[in-house]
Amino acid sequence: MPAKPQYRRVVLKASGEALMGGQGFGIDVSVVDRIASDIAEARALGVEVGVVIGGGNIFRGVAVASKGGDRVTGDHMGMLATVINSLALRTSLSKLGVEAIVLSAIAMPELCESFSQRQATAYMNAGKVVIFAGGTGNPFFTTDSAAALRAAEIGADALFKGTQVDGVYSADPKKDPTAERFERLTHTEVIERGLAIMDTAAIALARENNIPIIVYSIHEQGGFGAILKGEGRCTTVAD
């Protein structure tokens, strides 16, 4: 009998950069297809999955602000980038026969539905993958904060943060061979040690709502499912 998943409902946060594969910009469809297959595996385990994708592979608001432009407009552009990525993921999921809905924090009814907590919960209860697009809908925030916010709103049991490496390390494992991976940390330790796994606002929001953060490698095929089954490599951030 397959192992019972550790979590019933989760939010997965993937950065926009994770979608660009070896390219310097944009979307590598084969990478999005692979992430979609991991989500399909989680659904097959019976786990309800919400997804927040960043936009850094296309645009970040600070790029405008750093050149003397208007930060708010830059952030609007960044939020639009997350919608592009969300539509790409929906396309990859539908190729696999996984029903997925994009709910945007910014209304754009020709492209996707608008976010509401009630609608999101109804879709998740019905077993659809819900992709939360448009970040929080507000400038000066990040998609990390959007992921923690949506996780709290939909009552997720855990927030999965897909990163470049398989957990939180004492130093950058790509530069320092003596770096050690933490099995477990508290939210407060992550904030106090300045371990840059997500922005501080996101970690504080997760802490306040008792949501564990699971840091794992988004690049390892099957990694998401393995952790859900209690087998994969990751760092668990929980109080």
Which residues sit at the interface with ligand UDP, rule CB under 6 A? 15-17, 54-56, 60-61, 74-75, 78-79, 81-82, 135-136, 138-139, 141-144, 146
Q: Classify residue 58 as exposed, middle or buried by CB count within 10 Å of its CB (0-12, 13-18, 19+).
A: buried
CB of 18 to ligand UDP, least distance (A): 8
CB of 163 to ligand UDP, least distance (A): 10
Residue closer to ligand UDP by CB (options 15, 92) is 15
For residue 32, give the nearest of 79, 100, 116, 114 by alpha carbon.
100
Is residue 90 within 8 Å of 29, Cβ to Cβ? no
CB of 216 to ligand UDP, least distance (A): 15
Neighbours of 111 (CB within 10 A): 13
Residue closer to ligand UDP by CB (options 53, 93) is 53
Give the integer Cα–Cα distance in Å for 95 and 81.
Answer: 22
Residue closer to ligand UDP by CB (options 69, 230) is 69
CB of 190 to ligand UDP, least distance (A): 17
Give the integer Cα–Cα distance in Å for 81 and 60.
Answer: 8
Residue closer to ligand UDP by CB (options 56, 167) is 56
Give the integer Cα–Cα distance in Å for 211 and 105.
Answer: 22
Going by the annotation, the residues of the binding site are 13-16, 55-56, 60, 75, 136-143, 163-164, 169, 172
Going by the annotation, the residues of the binding site for UMP are 55, 75, 136-143
